[in-house]
Amino acid sequence: MTCKIESFYRVAAFALCLLFLSGCGKAKPEIDLPAVPAEPDRTTRLLPRQALLAEGMNVFMPDDPFKSFWIENWRTPSQTVRWNVEAPAGKYAAELLIRANGVEAGEEIVLELSAGKHRTQCALSGGEWQRCAFDKPLELSSGVSTVTLRVLSPGRSPEFGLHLCALELTGENLRAQLAERAEELRSDARWMGKLKYGFFFHWNANSMPRQGEAKSYEEAVRDFDAEAFARTVHECGGELVFFTTAWAQAYFPGPLDAFDRILPGRTTRRDLVSDLSDALGKYGIKLILYYNFKGDEAWQKAQGYSRETPGTLLENTEKILGEISDRYGKKIAGLWLDDGMAYYPLGADFEKLTRAAKRGNPALVVGYNSWIFPRFTDFQDFYGGELGLSEKSAGVGNPWLPVGGDGVFTGGPQAGLQATYCGLMEPGDWTHTEKDTEIGDPMFTADRLVEIIRKSNERGNLPMMNLQIYQDGTISSKTRALLDTVARRLHR
């Protein structure tokens, strides 16, 4: 009997020891916060809204239903940003999307990222938004780890402050695989850098005529004079057109089954995209479609969208991009996909979206508009550059866009992408939406515009001028006169 009792205790003690040892390798969170699961096959994005912020810090516009902005009022080493991350044990490359404000010349800001006893650092300078890669991978134990970010070496100026958009973690082995797959999917966009300039047209369901009542979208698409439009673009010197679909409201100027399955009545019988491509093609002008996946409230409701459950909206976006690519093939040269800063925080799989977009035309170029932020993904070909028309946007003073280069950023926040940028030609919004109102006078003289374009062309950086356009497809006569002068000076 005694032997059996001793045997029982030995077995129990051994079992407890095994249980203890099995738990030793498990990470334990230091804060009470839901854990962000590590993505097994892509980069994990840790956002401000998922973090525990130190006192005094806040998130800019935290309640936006789509976008994720930045952390503000981060000024001292005592302030931290902390996330719980659930991940397999391993080493993770870490990178920040961040901006340092109020940094004096020669100062270097040092940040530390830690999880348990493991630490790594990155150093950044002041100025624009940038990607800051940590000097070595961060080691995480299996389970839920608390990841802490702090500034070790802040700026000396009272104006110093950090704005943080996101922290990215990528498994060390996965990082090389993603880079290889992105390179394999990359299209050669250098042809864009050889063009002098192009035009962006925000023509859509909200566009208004010069006078009188607006037509329905179906009627406006039916009556749009594609031949006259293409002739105007050519005579004004444009060599590329970005043309909007689904801007503000989700409408598409042609038949598209993937659209109709979500919300009938948002497509048109006439295929204006095909007709525009044919008309522009007579002058050798390429067409790139703009697309915004967010749409209007009815569009979102039809897909059961919320910030917490974006899956259906993103899955439908993939289907729409795939059908656009299949339908038009080489009739379109690319897709300008707006609101990258909405795709990114909703967990969009950029690789899947880009593969769908190129399904019918592998040479098609794709760009996700990242606004002022660094590139959100390497699974794209060009930078949208929503920066305005200026010498700075043209690349003057940018070390990554040298004079004589091909227009591909050699480093920096948009490294590897073809440079393009866009801005308003006339005051107001991108779209002419005011009833019984003339489009405003151009904000540039011919001399000023020519100088900006020439500085862009020296660097292979493509300027895209947004021209307001009436519902009938015509532009302002004053803008037309200005562009006639610009075209004569730059093309003839």
- Mean pLDDT in residue range 105-110: 92
With 0.85 as the threshold, say if the pTM is over it: yes
By residue count, the chain amounts to: 492
Assess whether pLDDT exceeds 60 at residue 440: yes
Question: 161 phi and psi, to 5 degrees?
Answer: -175, 150
Convert the pLDDT of each residue in 348-387 to its tens digit: 999 999 999 999 999 999 999 999 999 999 999 999 999 9
- Rounded to whole angstroms, the Cα distance separating 191 from 370 reads 21
The residue among 434, 435, 457, 450 whose CA lies nearest residue 482 is: 450
Report yes or no: 38 and 87 within 8 Å, Cβ to Cβ: yes
Report CA Rg, the chain: 26
Alpha-carbon distance 95 to 6, whole Å? 55
Contact 60, 48 (CB under 8 A): no
Q: Is the pLDDT of residue 18 over 50?
A: no
Cα-Cα-Cα-Cα dihedral sign, residues 319, 323, 329, 331: negative
For residues 276 and 382, what is the distance between their CA atoms, to the nearest angstrom?
Answer: 22
DSSP 401: S
Kindly indicate the confidence band of residue 337, based on its pLDDT and cuts at 50, 70 and 90: very high
Structural contact between residues 250 and 259, judged by C-beta atoms closer than 8 angstroms: yes
Beta-bridged to residue 382, according to DSSP, are 418
- Give the model's confidence band at 106: pLDDT under 50 very low, under 70 low, under 90 confident, else very high: confident
Provide φ and ψ at 444, rounded to 5°: -130, 150
Output the pLDDT for position 157.
93
* pLDDT one-digit tens code per residue, 148-159: 999 999 999 999
When the pLDDT of each residue in the chain is averaged and rounded to a whole number, the result is 94
Q: How large is the average pLDDT for residues 90-97? A: 97
Q: How confident is the model at residue 483 (pLDDT cuts 50, 70, 90)?
A: very high
- Indicate if the pLDDT at residue 3 is higher than 70: no
> Is the pLDDT reported for residue 395 higher than 80?
yes
CA nearest neighbour of 328 among 369, 299, 286? 286
Smallest CA-to-CA distance from 420 within 449, 468, 453, 442 is with 453
Q: Which residue type, as a one-letter code, is found at position 74?
A: W
Predicted pLDDT of residue 10: 53
Which residues, 6+ apart, have CB-to-CB distance to 5 below 8 Å?
A: none
The per-residue pLDDT for 26 is 66
d(CA 324, CA 332): 9
Q: How far is CA 463 from CA 113, 132, 238, 345, in A?
A: 39, 28, 10, 28
The stretch 111-119 carries a mean pLDDT of 97
Those residues with Cβ within 8 angstroms of residue 408's Cβ, 6 or more apart along the chain or in another chain: 189, 190, 193, 416, 417, 418, 419, 460
User: How confident is the model over 43-47, as a mean pLDDT?
Assistant: 97
